[in-house]
Chain A
Amino acid sequence: MNIQTQSILEGSQKLINDQATANRLRSTILRMIHSAKSGHPGGSFSCLDILMTIFADLLRFRADDPEWADRDRCILSKGHGVPALYAVQAECGFFPKEWLMTLRHLGSPLQGHPDRFRMACVEAATGSLGQGLSIAQGMALAGKLDKKDYRVFCIVGDGEIQEGQIWEAAMSAPKFKLDNLTVIVDYNHGQIDGRSDEVMSLEPLADKWRAFNWNVLEVDGHDRKELKKVLPQKLAGQPTLIIAHTIKGKGVSFMEGVIDWHGVAPSDAELAKALKELES
């Protein structure tokens, strides 16, 4: 355990958006989930590169003043991916990296799903799926009312889009011309009961959002250079939706695309095997 913790504490206070950091954070995430004996590695890995790009290259924030009124907001609506958010935020210096290994332990501020009350850097408590986008929309509306130029990013899961509330928000954000709102779909094609294409197909996904009057873009959700180019894009008078094509469990060969890694912790042997890949 000491050796594992030591490794987590390495790295700078400034998040560097490169492959070495991505590998290191994936190791961290897997150690956190292993220590908690539960969690969601598949969906954490699929959204990590998106989160890294947002926090390293896009987001305006002050790590020492997380509630700064002019900050950009990033809501992780797919709350089960929160180990990735915590790993990225600790890397940015929002809270001590020592906290990471307390994930899901009794008394830890790092709850199993995001908890705004215990963590000032978490924008919204999420985890009951489908709700983060409406909250993001409310924040974007407040920004418009206050004539502030902050942006609001919201990451939703593909399975999450099956929730009806998402489509209520899909209708309302264009009505209010929320060009300060960007939604990113972590399209990893996996959910607990199987492939999202089979559980409840979302296709034609881009057409659906275009039909709802969104500015729709697509990107490889693991190509951080492309993400850096595409994620900031927006159009005046229209909200933007970016479909990020991702791989569930990305980064560890035996986890990639395997639905069963949605919500289980690795065994000691599996952790060792994964770390060997990530740290080689």
Chain B
Amino acid sequence: MKATRDSFGEELAALGERDPSIVVLDADLSKSTKTDKFAKKFPERFFEMGIAEANMIGTAAGLALSGKIPFAASFGAFITGRYDQIRMSVSYNRANVKLVGTHSGVAIGEDGHSQMGLEDVALLRSLPNFSIYQPADDVETRAVIQYAAAEFGPCYIRLTRQKLPDLFNAATYKFVPGKWATLHEGSDIALIGTGALTSSLMEANKKMGNKFTVINACSLKPVDEKLILHLAENYDLIVTAEDHYSIGGLGSAVAEVMSLAPGKASLHRIGLETFGESGGPEEVFAHFKLDAAGIVERLERLQDGI
């Protein structure tokens, strides 16, 4: 079990050793985003920008346009809240900036709605040249961070505050953009999760006798078009699940691909329909039916409907 923000902080500090062009910017949240590990090791390559995310993103763009590989981190809500700076200074400039949004989703708990990134994927998915990755465990997070550092182009990496169970084996896992991992092979229903929801789906499937197929969608842009079209042809139902608004995220991306070709599957999107709220992290996660029990309840209701 490890929070993906912790994996990010450790991997970034390790990468800093190997690549001197990596620089890191934070906006007074380095202890929460875990960039403080990099800051301690490489103070001359760490820029504390204060509570000023727009300036942080623009400065990152300038550093990128001068050959640096900047990672700019904050809570997902605050990073993508500076949409115009991302749109113009980063995206349109083709600036090689890596935006990292931690504290995604309602799972952060007590802090409540204002700190929850719930529309971040929807916002950035619309930009033509942005890649979006949401890893589901420690191994995947490290692979994504390494990939992002090595690959030219702007991207957004969505991370969690809460700890997530281990899913992948470091010795065999390889991150490929636009390629999703099938974690369990079943029939009738294909469950596609991203981030924390992948574990919820795995656990829910186990509770229901491991009948269904479970897929982990780390690469939210590009998505695995080939796999989605295959699922649409071979399954009765596709269920997507994300700790994000149900509009504009993983579910919408799957719907967009399904609209390209006729298949037999129908689609059900699990996500947030309303604002988030305060409470214990696990309590809030369960309240919005994003935990395994909530997923089982939803799936049983769906099956009754079929």
Contact = CB atoms under 8 A, between A and B. Distances in A.
**Physical interaction between A and B:** yes
B49 to A, nearest CB: 6
Interface string A120-139: 00011111101101111111
Contacts of A133: 58
A124 B61 CA distance: 9
Contact of A165 (B23, B54, B64): B54
Nearest to A126: B88
A138 B63 contact: yes
B50 interface: yes
A172 B67 CA distance: 21
A145 interface: yes
Contact of A172 (B55, B57, B93): B55
B69 to A, nearest CB: 11
A139 B62 contact: yes
A168 B85 CA distance: 13
Contact of B65 (A131, A138, A165): A138
A176 B44 CA distance: 11
Interface string B49-92: 11010110111111111111010000000000000110111001
Which label, helix, strand, loop or mixed, suits the secondary structure of the B interface? helix
Nearest to A116: B93
Contacts, number: 105
Given A131-B88, A169-B55, A125 B93 contact: yes
Interface in A129-163: 130-131, 133-143, 145-146
B168 interface: no
B47 interface: yes
A117 interface: yes
A141 B89 contact: no
Contact of B49 (A135, A146, A172): A172
A133 B85 CA distance: 12
Given A124-B93, A142-B68, A135 B47 contact: no
Contact of A138 (B62, B84, B88, B94): B62
Contacts of A69: 67
Interface residues of B, number: 30
B113 interface: no
B134 to A, nearest CB: 27
B55 A124 contact: no
B45 interface: yes
Interface residues of A, number: 32
A172 B61 contact: no
Contacts of B45: 145
B58 A135 contact: yes
Most central of A124, A135, A176 by chain B CB within 10 Å: A135
Contact of B55 (A125, A139, A145, A168): A168
A119 to B, nearest CB: 12
A185 B137 CA distance: 49
Contacts of A96: none
A171 interface: yes
A116 B94 contact: yes
A164 interface: yes
A138 B54 contact: no
**Residue from B44, B47, B52, B55 with most neighbouring chain A CB atoms (10 Å):** B55
A177 to B, nearest CB: 13
30 contacts: A116-B93, A123-B65, A124-B61, A124-B89, A124-B93, A128-B87, A131-B84, A131-B88, A134-B59, A134-B89, A135-B62, A135-B65, A137-B58, A137-B59, A138-B64, A138-B66, A139-B66, A141-B62, A141-B63, A142-B66, A142-B67, A143-B66, A145-B45, A146-B66, A165-B52, A165-B54, A165-B85, A168-B54, A168-B55, A169-B55
Interface of A: 69, 115-117, 123-128, 130-131, 133-143, 145-146, 164-165, 168-169, 171-172, 176
Query: Closest 10 A-B residue pairs measured CB to CB?
Result: A138-B62, A134-B58, A142-B66, A168-B55, A168-B52, A135-B62, A138-B59, A138-B63, A165-B54, A139-B62
Given A125-B88, A142-B66, A142-B68, 12 more contacts: A131-B84, A131-B89, A135-B65, A136-B62, A137-B59, A139-B65, A141-B59, A165-B55, A165-B85, A171-B52, A172-B52, A176-B47
